[in-house]
């Protein structure tokens, strides 16, 4: 995969950077987690120090191809200026008159942030020609392209894939680090290799589980998806999240794990409540003795201990998906216990983006105690599945 060095001398060059600035905002449009912006800084600093004119293309939210002020990148522009200490100009459009004027006036060592690329329907179009035409407009703004939005490299979109086919293209430092770290965990793990999977649905992680059953030494299953596994074993799961149409698939996974010698650990106890509410009265029950009128919202204390011991004895740990409803303090202990166990371990650890990365930050853990925190939930999942990512493959062409 080509890196920034392959682009040669960038002094006075216009460099189009695809970043992932899809950050969470509160009701007042304040950024509540700037992790993705901070993750982009090493690449941006490298380009700025080289004397490049940096033009950033990024998205926020799902405006569905329509201009929507609720999804403006204005808060990102403000925070980016604070973090970089350079002038950041926000264009009022992506490829129109405002963008063209801003780029024309751009001085080396400064940044133009184009307005939300997903305000343009062609960005995510399934029509190759429509996407390519929009990519040509983006490419006209720059001399070279740097792909640094790992959270979108699994998408065949104009600003991710098509632009890289038009301009000289390379990966940014963030994308290179993501591929190296996830590749090390997936393709060359030091053993024992443990994968912790959580989140709400088994169906979101079918490909990951199928792939890992041939690679991992241990699979630890928590979160809402664990109840489909417990149901597959014949246990009552009450009103917990359950995907009945996946029970037969899960039974197959249990059989495959046994046949392959993969240790598959499920909750032995669970925190239940009568309803999905932050202040719902919680109690702990054995995983094989759940009341029919209760729902599981977190792994229990014995499971936390079991999972922590498995993590402590591992040399490589990959974690994707929370163990419970960590947004509710009463049901955050399982996720906290897994995060602490990984943080305390000497293993090479990868936190697979999305809710897991958010949990690490929300629960106050020191990010430096993890080997790598991915910025892309969907992209990291697809890598764990063994899939080829379009935005990466195009950089190898």
- Which pLDDT score, from 0 to 100, does residue 357 have? 87
Lowest mean pLDDT among 26-30, 58-62, 368-372, 381-385: 381-385
Residue at a domain's end among 176, 203, 229:
176
With respect to residue 317, please indicate whether it lies within any of the assigned structural domains: yes
Residue among 306, 297, 371 nearest 337 (CA): 306
What are the structure tokens assigned to 334, written together?
């399982």
Roughly how many angstroms between the first and final C-alpha of the chain, as a whole number? Answer: 9
Residue 218 assigned as binding residue: no
Phi and psi angles of residue 319, each rounded to the nearest 5 degrees, phi first: -125, 125
Same domain, yes or no: 149 and 225: no
Q: What is the mean pLDDT of residues 174-187?
A: 91
- Which pLDDT score, from 0 to 100, does residue 179 have? 93
Residue 397 assigned as binding residue: no
Q: What is the mean pLDDT of residues 65-79?
A: 97
Phi and psi angles of residue 111, each rounded to the nearest 5 degrees, phi first: -130, 140
Statement: residue 362 has pLDDT above 90: no
Same domain, yes or no: 31 and 149: yes
Same domain, yes or no: 291 and 270: yes
Same domain, yes or no: 208 and 143: no
Residue 264's domain comprises: 189-385
Residue 380 assigned as binding residue: no
With respect to residue 390, please indicate whether it lies within any of the assigned structural domains: no
Same domain, yes or no: 78 and 219: no
- Which pLDDT score, from 0 to 100, does residue 384 have? 86
How does pLDDT run across 228-269, given as a tens digit for each residue?
999 999 999 999 999 999 999 999 999 999 999 999 999 999
- Which pLDDT score, from 0 to 100, does residue 390 have? 96
Q: How many domains does the chain have?
A: 2
Q: What are the residues whose beta carbons fall under 8 Å from the beta carbon of 333, sequence distance 6 or more? A: 271, 298, 301, 304, 324
- Which pLDDT score, from 0 to 100, does residue 352 have? 86
Statement: residue 104 has pLDDT above 80: yes
Q: What are the residues whose beta carbons fall under 8 Å from the beta carbon of 190, sequence distance 6 or more? A: 315, 316, 347, 348
Angle, CA 178 vertex, CA 176 and CA 180 arms, to 5°: 70
Residue 120 assigned as binding residue: no
The SS3 call for residue 95 is coil
Residue 59 assigned as binding residue: yes
Which residue in 2, 45, 184, 201 is the catalytic one? 201
Statement: residue 397 has pLDDT above 80: no
- Distance, in Å, from the CA atom of 350 to the CA atom of 370, rounded to the nearest integer, reads 7
Residue 293 assigned as binding residue: no
Lowest mean pLDDT among 6-20, 322-336, 364-378: 364-378
Q: How confident is the model at residue 385 (pLDDT cuts 50, 70, 90)?
A: confident
pLDDT > 90 in the chain, percent: 87
**Is residue 201 flagged as an active site residue?**
yes
Same domain, yes or no: 170 and 296: no
Which residue in 251, 378, 386, 387 is the catalytic one? 378
Beta-sheet strand order (sheet of 53-57): 88-90, 111-113, 53-57, 14-18, 144-147, 169-171
- Which pLDDT score, from 0 to 100, does residue 90 have? 98
Residue among 196, 214, 182, 90 nearest 372 (CA): 182
Same domain, yes or no: 8 and 113: yes
Q: How confident is the model at residue 169 (pLDDT cuts 50, 70, 90)?
A: very high
Statement: residue 143 has pLDDT above 90: yes
Residue 60 assigned as binding residue: yes
Residue 29 assigned as binding residue: no
Q: How confident is the model at residue 224 (pLDDT cuts 50, 70, 90)?
A: very high
Q: Could you tell me the CATH number of the domain that includes residue 356? A: 3.40.50.1260
- Which pLDDT score, from 0 to 100, does residue 377 have? 82
Q: What is the mean pLDDT of residues 110-129?
A: 98
- Distance, in Å, from the CA atom of 300 to the CA atom of 334, rounded to the nearest integer, reads 7
Residue 148 assigned as binding residue: no
pTM of the model: 0.89
Statement: residue 23 has pLDDT above 80: yes
DSSP annotation string for 116-154: -GGGSGGGG-S-HHHHHHHHHHHHTT-SEEEE--GGGTT
Q: Are 131 and 158 in contact (CB under 8 A)?
A: yes
Statement: residue 345 has pLDDT above 90: yes
**Is residue 315 flagged as an active site residue?**
no
**Is residue 354 flagged as an active site residue?**
yes
Residue 222 assigned as binding residue: no
Which residue in 35, 354, 377, 391 is the catalytic one? 354
The SS3 call for residue 208 is helix
Instruction: Report the DSSP beta bridge partners of residue 57.
Output: 18
Q: How confident is the model at residue 386 (pLDDT cuts 50, 70, 90)?
A: confident
- Which pLDDT score, from 0 to 100, does residue 396 have? 87
Q: Are 94 and 122 in contact (CB under 8 A)?
A: no
Statement: residue 353 has pLDDT above 80: no
């Amino acid at each position: 995969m080509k890196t920034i060095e392959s682009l040669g001398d960038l002094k006075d060059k216009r460099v189009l950077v695809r970043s992932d600035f899809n950050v969470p905002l509160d009701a007042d449009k304040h950024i509540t987690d700037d992790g993705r912006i901070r993750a982009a800084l090493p690449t941006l600093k490298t380009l700025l120090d080289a004397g490049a004119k940096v033009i950033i293309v990024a998205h926020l939210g799902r405006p569905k191809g329509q201009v929507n002020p609720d999804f403006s990148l204005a808060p990102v522009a403000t925070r980016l200026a604070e973090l970089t200490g350079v002038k950041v100009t926000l264009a009022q459009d992506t490829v129109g008159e405002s963008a063209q004027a801003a780029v024309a006036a751009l001085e080396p060592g400064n940044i133009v942030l184009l307005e939300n690329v997903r305000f343009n329907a062609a960005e995510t179009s399934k029509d190759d020609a429509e996407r390519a035409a929009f990519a040509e407009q983006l490419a006209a703004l720059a001399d070279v392209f740097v792909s640094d939005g790992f959270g979108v490299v699994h998408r065949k979109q104009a600003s991710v894939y098509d632009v890289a086919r038009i301009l000289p293209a390379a990966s940014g430092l963030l994308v290179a680090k993501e591929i190296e770290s996830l590749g090390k965990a997936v393709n060359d793990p030091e053993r024992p290799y443990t994968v912790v999977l959580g989140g709400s649905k088994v169906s979101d992680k079918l490909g990951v589980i199928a792939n890992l059953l041939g690679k991992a030494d241990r699979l630890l299953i928590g979160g809402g998806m664990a109840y489909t596994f417990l149901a597959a074993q014949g246990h009552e799961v009450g009103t917990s999240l359950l995907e009945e149409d996946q029970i037969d698939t899960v039974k197959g996974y249990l059989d495959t794990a046994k046949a392959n010698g993969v240790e598959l650990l499920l909750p032995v106890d669970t925190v239940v409540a009568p309803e999905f509410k932050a202040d719902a009265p919680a109690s702990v029950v054995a995983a094989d003795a759940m009341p029919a009128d209760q729902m599981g919202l977190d792994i229990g204390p014995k499971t936390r201990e079991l999972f922590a011991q498995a993590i402590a004895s591992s040399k490589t740990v990959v974690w994707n998906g929370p163990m419970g409803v960590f947004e509710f303090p009463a049901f955050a202990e399982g996720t906290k216990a897994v995060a602490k166990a990984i943080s305390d371990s000497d293993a090479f650890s990868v936190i697979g983006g999305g809710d897991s990365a958010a949990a690490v930050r929300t629960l106050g853990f020191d990010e430096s105690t993890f080997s790598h925190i991915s910025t892309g939930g969907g992209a990291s999942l697809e890598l764990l599945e063994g899939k080829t990512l379009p935005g990466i493959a195009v950089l190898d062409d």
